[in-house]
Amino acid sequence: MEPQDTSQDGPTRRFLLECMTWAGTGVLWSVAAGLPQAAMLGSAEAAEAAFSFVQISDSHIGFDKVANPDPLATLHEAVEQIKALAQKPAFVLHTGDITHLSRPAEFDAAQQMIAEIGLPVFYVPGEHDVLDEGRGRAYLDRYGAGSRGAGWHSFEQHGVRYIGLVNVLDLKAGGLGNLGNEQLEWLENTVAGLSSSTPIVVFAHIPLWSVYPEWGWGTEDGARALTYLRRFGSVTVLNGHIHQIMQKVEGNVAFHTARSTAFPQPVPGTAPSPGPVRVAPGELRKLLGTTSVSFVPGRQPLAIVDTPLAG
């Protein structure tokens, strides 16, 4: 990897494209004190990680169209992949769109399948999880214990502070994802007492950064959330929603979006709409997958590894 030119506002396009390519083929991505580093899978750095967690996203249980007629089967493969990890993760984050239409049977099927992992699971809802008449009541009844507002919550594990944000409710015409004042104030208060050396992991469904506003891939007030996190030495933002891996590093903040376990979506601007991409059956599992994040205490790197379900 070429050294990043820190004199610019962000990484160069070539740098970004290199990172995206590597992520897609299983490269370990780590961030130490805001400086991105990459190493091949199975390296010493991966082996010595003290603890790790796994991110899964966009399982869309209930979807039955050509792009993937059986997303419960591909979620099952993701579950098996997590169970087979050499280093047992501490927990699982699900970054939303658990279901396709927020139906009780879809939530039930997803919950039973994900329970097979046998680890604690922390959720944030996607826009597909708040389609019930109560606009998110069904999600909260099932997953909202201990959360605030529409389901935002925070917890600490091994010295890392995790913050789950909800940006899929009260969306405005012509707008993007939305956090809202109440949640932003809660975020500000939640991080106010933390030391700037505390590693922060933020997870939310829609990307907090502007991936492609033309398709609604961004969060209206995401920048305000990031101002509260700017003083921290290591911030990792994990999102879903766009069903593909994208990474960006801005100062000390590393942004990462995960693959879906159900179906891929097009690269921004390469299709008339962000609708599901239909691929040959043998290709599908190369475009679905899970994300593993490792943390090495003392050196503060968060190493992100994306693994496809196949290929």
Partner 1 sequence: MRSPLSRRTVACLALPLALVPFVARAAAPVAISIDNFAFTPQVLTVPLGTIVTWKNGDDIPHTIVDTGGAFRSPVLDTDDAFSFTFATVGEYGYFCGLHPHMTGRIIVTRG
Which residues lie across from 49 on neighbouring strands?
Answer: none
Distance CA 181, CA 286 (A): 39
Closest CB 276 distance from partner 1, rounded Å: 5
CB of 125 to partner 1, least distance (A): 12
CB of 150 to partner 1, least distance (A): 14
Shortest Å distance, C-beta 131 to partner 1:
4
Spell out the residues 6+ positions from residue 45 whose beta carbon is closer than 8 angstroms to its own.
Answer: 28, 30, 39, 296, 301, 303
Q: How far apart are CA 278 and CA 300, in angstroms?
A: 40
In the block, residue with structure tokens 């104030």: 185
Q: How far is the CB of 42 from partner 1 (least distance, A)?
A: 37
**Closest CB 218 distance from partner 1, rounded Å:** 10
- Cβ nearer to partner 1, comparing 199 with 264: 264
Q: How many CB atoms lie within 10 A of CB 49?
A: 20
Q: In the complex with partner 1, which residue's Cβ is closer, 272 or 298?
A: 272
d(CA 38, CA 31): 8
Query: Which two tokens mark 139?
Result: 């999600």
Q: How far is the CB of 14 from partner 1 (least distance, A)?
A: 29
Nearer to partner 1, 118 or 275 (CB): 275
Binding footprint of partner 1 on the chain (CB under 8 A): 65-67, 100-102, 127-128, 131, 133, 171-176, 213-216, 272-276
Residue pointed to by tokens 């579950």: 79
| Nearest approach, Cβ of residue 63 and partner 1 (Å) | 8
| Half-sphere exposure of residue 222: CA atoms within 13 angstroms, side-chain side | 27
Closest residue by Cα to residue 246 from 22, 6, 10:
22
- Proportion of the chain in helix, strand, coil states, percent, rounded to 5: 25, 25, 50
The residues near 99 (Cβ < 8 Å, ≥ 6 apart) are 59, 60, 61, 62, 106, 107, 110, 128, 129
Residue 174 vs 193, nearer CB to partner 1: 174
For residues 309 and 252, the answer to whether their CB atoms sit within 8 Å is: no
